[in-house]
Amino acid sequence: MTVHLERRGDIAIVTIDNPPVNAINNRVRERLIALAEALDADDGVKAVVLTGAGTHFVGGADITEFDKAVTEPSLPAVVARIEQAAKPWLAAIHGAALGGGLELALGCHIRVVGPHAALALPEVKLGIIPGSGGTQRLPRLIGAETAVKMVCENLTLDAKTAVAVGLADHLADGPLLDAAIDLAVQTGERPLPEPACRRSVAPPAQEVWEEAQARIERRARGASAPATALGVLRHGIEHGFAEGLRHERETFLKLRAGEEAAALRYLFFAERAAPRPPDLRSVETRPLASAGIVGGGTMGVGIAAALCNAGLPVVLIERDQESLARGLNALRTIVQTAAKKAGQPLSIAETRLAGVTGATDYAFLSHCDLVIEAVFEDLAVKRAVFADLCSHCRADAILATNTSYIDPGLIAEGLSFPHRFLGLHFFSPAQVMRLLEIVPIAETSREVLATAFDLARRLGKVPVRSGICDGFIGNRILRRYRAEAEAMILDGVEPQAIDAAMRDFGYAMGPFEMQDMAGLDISYLHRQAARARGETVPETPGDLLVQAGRKGQKTGAGWYDYAPGERMPRPSAEARRIIAPLVHGALEISAEAIVDRLIAALAEEGKAILDEGIAAFPADIDLVEVHGYGFPRFRGGPMFLTARAQVSQADGAMSPVEAKASHPTA
């Protein structure tokens, strides 16, 4: 049974029990409607307490139903039935009341929250809007401006704030259910609060709407649901509750069937599945209670911060005192900034930093369960580090390299413990970027591999397993992307046209702006090294720019010109002149065709990577692109997009459930 009924005297207690998060599916809806009918007809019942089993109220509507036709009773019908019930319904909210869960609570006459309640309407993250009255009841309870933040900008309210703004009526200071029952017993003694549907809401001034719209569109970076949600919220405030509800449902159903929602659902399932690959589910993981990092540069410090923020004590090793002091300072700044950004008191950052030990002596790593190497990208340097680790670390410690390009198998060559060695490829800045490529070598044990996935989960990262090839999954695809963009330059397309097309598609930056920001010299040095090894690497426009001293923003010039102290790229006649000897065409191409050509290149390289067994599932490629390389989330990823386009060309679009099959772990 997904919904239980019990009695405490004349109070009925309705408990939604659908593990793990009490998601509302068709069975739950049917049962709630039936119970509302039955309890209204039951003279022995005075009031109803609605709650959730386990640690949450209700985590939302069941997303797996979103790919199917809507079945009756719909959630709006359930919410309306509860709101219109003859008996008062009280929502007793502990833990999460999200999306449809909160909408259900909004239909109740009284909301009681426990101290750990978290209330939110996160639908826009899935490319939809609340479809069961959330956009209409919420502003009538808490005012338009806070409602806009919750509906369009993912604001989550804690218990105290929920009471302060009027979303909840009562904060329980003892056991939640007892508090709700007490209130239910008293319901006859005083009038019930006016239901949300009958309340009025003060319309904000025009400037407030305009400001909100500009802010929401800027942050949404091309995704349409947040601004659509704003429009729906406003429509209801300006045209009344009934019309608002009608418009909300119509818009919800349209978005639910749309591409953006399909892409975001697909990613939702892929992200949920990523930390638990099917072949490792039954494998025991090792406890990780402390970690060491060797190398306190850009990556080492970022990785240390990620570990620190997850509450793991960290030992940071550098080669000398000066480098160590620099690394520890940088780490301090990052952890403090992260706490500040999260609105946490400085004491939290200090507690985390108290778990950090800095040293130049590897002996400090002797107790660590895991050590991650992040020293210079040089095989000999890395091998020397692991030889040292061999003699200082525990015999069962997991040892990992953060190399970007070197074959981890070569780094581990000659080590006596290859079964506890693997690549953990973090992305910069490591405390922020969610992608973690996990790169086992042939000898890595399954237990060590499973523990790496577990670590990713603890760090809040999105892990993707990669086989070994030059650049692993992400950097290999990036190289192909850049090569295709440069091929267009040789065809005569201007970098600013390519960058603008990719920005319009949803990237924060185009490929040439990105190269200017990162510096053109690193890949130039890679190409030069390959040439020095005797490999044939054709001359590229990037070579000519670097040779002319144009290394990107840091030299004030790259693909673009930069005014002193500015980062705004300006089209450059000089750059055009320098690369002219390599340009052999004058291609006229639309922005759409530019995007198609670059996405096709991403997807082709992704397919090659799958065919070679470097990645296991198309969704892994998409997770890498979305979480490591700025692919616009609301478009799903190059593999998703290409598969959708192929299927819709053939006969109608692939549903996210079908797309999900491309990631059988979901």
Q: Does 300 bind ligand NAI (CB under 6 A)?
A: yes
Q: Which tokens in the block code for residue 574? A: 């000089």
Q: Site for ligand NAI (CB under 6 A): how many residues? A: 23
Residue 184 or residue 439: which is nearer to ligand NAI going by CB?
A: 439
Token duo for residue 515: 């190269």
User: Any idea of the CA torsion for 126, 132, 135, 137, to the nearest 10 degrees?
Assistant: -150
| Beta-carbon count within 10 A of 87 CB | 20
Work out whether 297 is an interface residue with ligand NAI (CB under 6 A).
yes
Q: How many CA atoms lie within 13 A of 614 on its CB side?
A: 21
Name the H helices within 240-372: 241-256, 259-273, 298-309, 321-341, 346-354
Catalytic hit among 30, 83, 123, 284? 123
Q: Which of residues 276-295 bind ligand NAI (CB under 6 A)?
A: 294-295
* Binding residue for ligand NAI, selected from 26, 64, 298, 555, defined by CB under 6 A: 298
**Smallest separation (angstroms) from ligand NAI to the CB of 637:** 21
Q: Which is nearer to ligand NAI, 195 or 423 (CB)?
A: 423
Q: Which of 299, 594, 614, 623 binds ligand NAI (CB under 6 A)?
A: 299
User: CB–CB of 472/620 below 8 Å?
Assistant: no
Query: Residue 113 Cβ, how far from ligand NAI at the closest point, in Å?
Result: 43
Long-range contacts of 230-238 (CB under 8 A, 24+ apart): 230/148, 230/151, 230/152, 232/129, 232/135, 233/135, 233/136, 233/139, 233/144, 233/147, 233/148, 233/151, 233/152, 234/209, 236/135, 236/136, 236/139, 237/139, 237/144, 237/201, 237/203, 237/204, 238/203
If binding is defined by CB under 6 A, does position 336 make contact with ligand NAI? no
Q: Is 373 a catalytic residue?
A: no
Report, in Å, the least distance between residue 490 CB and ligand NAI.
Answer: 27
SS3 444: coil
Q: How far is the CB of 660 from ligand NAI (least distance, A)?
A: 30
528 lies in the site for ligand NAI, by CB under 6 A = no
CB of 556 to ligand NAI, least distance (A): 22
549 binds ligand NAI (CB under 6 A): no
Classify 661 in phi/psi space as left (phi over 0), alpha (psi -120 to 50) or beta. Answer: alpha
Nearer to ligand NAI, 206 or 391 (CB): 391
Q: From the CB of 454, what's the least distance to ligand NAI, in Å?
A: 21
Using alpha carbons, list the distances in angstroms from residue 500 to 507, 509, 571, 592, 632: 9, 8, 12, 11, 14
Q: What mask, x for binding ligand NAI by CB under 6 A, covers residues 172 to 211?
A: ----------------------------------------
Minimum separation from the CB atom of position 380 to ligand NAI (A):
11
Q: Among the residues of 143-277, which ranges form H helices?
A: 144-153, 159-165, 176-185, 206-220, 225-239, 241-256, 259-273
Residue nearest to ligand NAI (CB): 297
Three-state SS for 376-431 is CCCHHHHHHHHHHHHHHCCCCCEEEECCCCCCHHHHHCCCCCHHHEEEEEECCCCC
User: Which of 375, 397, 456, 498 touches ligand NAI by CB under 6 A?
Assistant: 375
Nearest approach, Cβ of residue 291 and ligand NAI (Å) = 15
CB of 478 to ligand NAI, least distance (A): 12
Which residue out of 30, 37, 65, 103 is catalytically annotated? Answer: 103
DSSP-based helix, strand, coil % in the chain, nearest 5: 55, 10, 35
Considering the rule CB under 6 A, would residue 377 count as an interface residue with ligand NAI? yes
Q: Which is nearer to ligand NAI, 170 or 392 (CB)?
A: 392
Q: Are 141 and 166 in contact (CB under 8 A)?
A: yes
Backbone φ and ψ of 89, nearest 5°: -105, 130
Nearer to ligand NAI, 10 or 377 (CB): 377
Residue 474 interacting with ligand NAI (CB under 6 A) = no
Residue closer to ligand NAI, measured from CB, 386 or 417: 386
Q: Which of the ranges 68-76, 339-347, 371-379, 575-583 carries the binding residues for ligand NAI, by CB under 6 A?
A: 371-379
Q: How far is CA 187 from CA 38, 195, 492, 607, in A?
A: 19, 14, 75, 63
* Cα-Cα end-to-end distance for the chain: 25
Q: How far is the CB of 301 from ligand NAI (least distance, A)?
A: 8
**Among positions 25, 26, 154, 323, the unique one binding ligand NAI when judged by CB under 6 A:** 323
- CB environment 60-85: b (16+ within 10 A), e (fewer): bbbbeebbeebeebbbbebbbbbbeb
Distance between CA 555 and CA 578 in Å, rounded? Answer: 16
Residues β-bridged to residue 438: 424, 465
Question: What whole-number distance in Å separates Cα of residue 495 and Cα of residue 398?
Answer: 45
Per CB under 6 A, which region of 311-319, 507-515, 610-618, 645-653 contacts ligand NAI? 311-319
Identify which of residues 236 and 300 has a Cβ nearer to ligand NAI in the complex. 300
Residue from 114, 115, 124, 121 nearest 142 by CA: 121
**357 near ligand NAI, judged by CB under 6 A:** no
The CB-of-358 to ligand NAI minimum distance in angstroms stands at 11
Assess 239 for contact with ligand NAI (CB under 6 A).
Answer: no
Q: Is 123 considered catalytic here? A: yes
* 381 is a site residue for ligand NAI (CB under 6 A): yes
* Closest residue by Cα to residue 142 from 124, 155, 123, 129: 155
Candidates 425-433, 564-572, 623-631, 656-664: pick the segment binding ligand NAI (CB under 6 A).
425-433
Closer Cβ to ligand NAI, 229 or 315, answer by number: 315
Q: Does 374 bind ligand NAI (CB under 6 A)?
A: yes
Q: Judged by CB, which is closer to ligand NAI: 361, or 611?
A: 361
Task: Say how far apart CA 19 and CA 31 lie, in whole Å.
Answer: 16
Q: How far apart are CA 82 and CA 530, in angstroms?
A: 70
Cβ contact 373:294 at 8 Å:
yes
When the beta carbons of 237 and 293 are compared against ligand NAI, the nearer one is 293
Q: For residues 359 and 319, what is the distance between their CA atoms, to the nearest angstrom? A: 9
Q: How far is CA 366 from the centre of its chain?
A: 35
Considering only residues 52 to 71 of the shown chain, the ones binding ligand NAI according to CB under 6 A are none
Nearer to ligand NAI, 54 or 429 (CB): 429
- Which segment (82-90, 118-126, 315-323, 631-639) binds ligand NAI by CB under 6 A? 315-323
Q: x/- binding map, residues 383-422, to ligand NAI, per CB under 6 A? A: --x----------------xxx------------------
Of 19-27, 152-160, 375-383, 538-546, the segment contacting ligand NAI by CB under 6 A is: 375-383
Nearest partner of 462 among 216, 655, 631, 659, judged by Cα: 631
CB-nearer residue toward ligand NAI: 196 or 293: 293
- Does 428 bind ligand NAI (CB under 6 A)? Our answer is yes
Q: Would you call 161 exposed, middle or buried from its count of C-beta atoms within 10 A (0-12, 13-18, 19+)?
A: middle
- Provide the residue count of the chain: 666
Task: Specify the 3-state DSSP secondary structure of 95.
Answer: coil
Q: How far is the CB of 322 from ligand NAI (least distance, A)?
A: 9
Residues of the shown chain interacting with ligand NAI in the complex, contacts defined by CB under 6 A: 294-300, 317-319, 323, 374-377, 381, 385, 402-404, 426-428
Q: Which residues are catalytic?
A: 103, 123
